[in-house]
Amino acid sequence: MIGNRIAAALAGVTALSLALAGCGDSGNKSSSSGQSVTSLSILDYYNNDPDKALVQKGLDSCASKLSITIKRETVPGDTLIAKVLQQASSKTLPDVLMLDNPDVQQIAATGALAPLNDLGLNADGVIQGMVDATSYQGKLYGLAPVTNTIALFYNKTMLADAGVQPPKTWDELKAAAKKLTKPGRYGMAFNANATYEGSWQFLPAMWTNGGDETDLKSPQVAEALQLWVDLVKSGSASKSVINWTQGDVKDQFVAGKAAMMVNGPWQIPALAKAPNVKWDVVTFPLNKPDQTPVAPLGGEAWTVPLNKDQAKQQKAADFVKCLNSDENELAWAKARFTLPTKTALLDQYAQEVPSMKAFAEQVKTARARTGKLGDKWPDAAKVIYQAIQLALTGKASAQDAFKQASG
């Protein structure tokens, strides 16, 4: 699930780069004197249960297999990057560092991370979108055991009562949303707020339509924005989407106030607590039938900060390799309603967890947000959510919104 990372903190990345040449020393040099590595420090942002406990189980399993102990620190997601930059500056980075996948290139660019290729790791069989997200200048810097994306949830009962089939095209989506709308209920709900979440939810429409973050003023991008505008302007979606988070969207769906919603599999546990809501998921609709659905990749990657202690650095790489074993990918995916990142595991997983079938299909062609712009992605994401706000509040047309937001 995408979070609101600290874009301001990343402004200091370039300035830090020259200071990080020796930043990987964690301060523990016992193994370089010939002693075996017995412990590793870990930093991640899974600081709330159930994720915290589920991840701990996986970490403990790999620690046991490698005959080591781990010292884990967890922090809130919106503070991780600031902490990483501070630790890089003070040479106190952990032995193993978890990063949201769009942040890997930004931190790799500072020189703070060790290339995993040099430590015997590779990304063979991993979906290309995740390889793109965790690589920088031709080298691999992170491996993600699981990933996620977004798709279209729908209330099976509401669609059946209205005689509506799950939409496959934008025209079908707009027609279905209009037919499903009635007093007290909108046909469609999505997150269009002025954060990276708003940009994230827009990407399936933009990318599937051939739009690109390298040319946000293109007709294809404007067409995607017009879809959002049409849904709100017709009354099929609430004007409040400009303020809603993905959690708010889920709440509308669970409360029966929305018949369809764009969201991710992390909402499934909450839906399971509402047995009266009968739901299913399909891939995001296409503008034209011959298009391929393209959605953004979520999920976190595990990296190895540079360390003067070569034995400890190698042990950290072995730990990351363990986390990304087939066994662990499937176990984590099932426990956390995420998806394995190895293509060969996706079909097996979809059969074993039917509720994830649409996500497993969608993720095969999903893209990394940083795949084309690298560490410049946050700038594009800001333009995207600003343009969405302009268009949905009527301050600009879909055609002009990106021109205004780009300045």
Q: Which two tokens stand for residue 32?
A: 């370089």
Contact 296, 200 (CB under 8 A): yes
pLDDT at 6 > cutoff 60: no
One-letter-per-residue 3-state SS of the chain: CCCCCCHHHHCCHHHHHHHHCCCCCCCCCHHHHCCCCCEEEEEECCCCCCHHHHHHHHHHHHHHHCCCEEEEEECCHHHHHHHHHHHHHHCCCCCEEEEEHHHHHHHHCCCCECCHHHHCCCCCCECHHHHHHCEECCEECCECCEEECCEEEEEHHHHHHHCCCCCCEHHHHHHHHHHHCECCEEEEECCCCCCHHHHHHHHHHHHHCCCECCECCCHHHHHHHHHHHHHHHCCCECHHHHCCCHHHHHHHHHCCCEEEEEECHHHHHHHHCCCCCCEEEECCCECCCCCCCCCECECEEEECECCCCHHHHHHHHHHHHHHCCHHHHHHHHHHHCCEECEHHHHHHHHHHCHHHHHHHHHHCCCECCCCCCHHHHHHHHHHHHHHHHHHHCCCCCHHHHHHHHHC
pLDDT digits (tens, 9 = 90+) for 43-94: 999 999 889 999 999 999 999 999 999 999 999 998 999 999 999 989 999 9
Cβ neighbours, 10 Å, residue 300: 26
Q: Within 10 A of 351 (CB to CB), how many other CB atoms are there? A: 11
Compute the average pLDDT of residues 173-177. Answer: 99
Q: How far apart are CA 59 and CA 72, in angstroms?
A: 9
Tell me: the pLDDT tens digits for 221-268?
999 999 999 999 999 999 999 999 999 999 999 999 999 999 999 999
pLDDT, tens digit (0-9, with 9 covering 90-100), for 344-385: 999 999 999 999 999 999 999 999 999 999 888 999 999 999
Partners of 18 in beta bridges = none
Average pLDDT over residues 16-24: 38
Q: Express each pLDDT in 272-295 by its tens digit.
A: 999 999 999 999 999 999 999 999
pLDDT tier, 22 (very low <50, low <70, confident <90, very high otherwise): very low
pLDDT digits (tens, 9 = 90+) for 304-333: 999 999 999 999 999 999 999 999 999 999
> What percentage of the chain reaches a pLDDT higher than 90?
88
pTM comes to: 0.88
Sketch out the chain's domains with CATH numbers.
7-148+298-363 (3.40.190.10), 151-295+373-406 (3.40.190.10)
When pLDDT is averaged across residues 96-120 and rounded to a whole number, the result is 96
